[in-house]
Amino acid sequence: MRITFSFEAAAADEVILMGDFNNWNPKKHPMQNNENGIWSKTLVLSPGKYEYKFFVDGMWKKDPQNAKTCLNCFGTQNSVFNLEEI
């Protein structure tokens, strides 16, 4: 299934999408700035539950458009979604 992630960060120089779908690899999914301060990335994922975060200029950020979160092994929150529910 195709899913598009977006993050508003007008002043950011770099936004990277990381999650368990890419083994939290910072080189896999850099996001594209649409010049309006909205960064986006479209992926094709299999149905399932996924954890993710945005890495914005070196800082981890949860998805402000998604209230669903879970505790990670570092004691902070990851955004989470179930692709079967979307």
| Per-residue pLDDT, 84 | 84
| Per-residue pLDDT, 35 | 80
**Domain ranges within the chain, ordered by starting residue:** 2-85
Q: Is the pLDDT score of 49 beyond 80?
A: yes
Q: Is the pLDDT score of 11 beyond 90?
A: yes
Chain segment 50-80, per-residue pLDDT in tens = 999 999 999 999 999 999 999 999 999 999 9
Buried residues in 53-79 as b, exposed as e (16+ CB within 10 A): bbbbeeeeebbeeeeeeeeeeeeeebb
CATH fold for domain 2-85: Immunoglobulin-like (2.60.40)
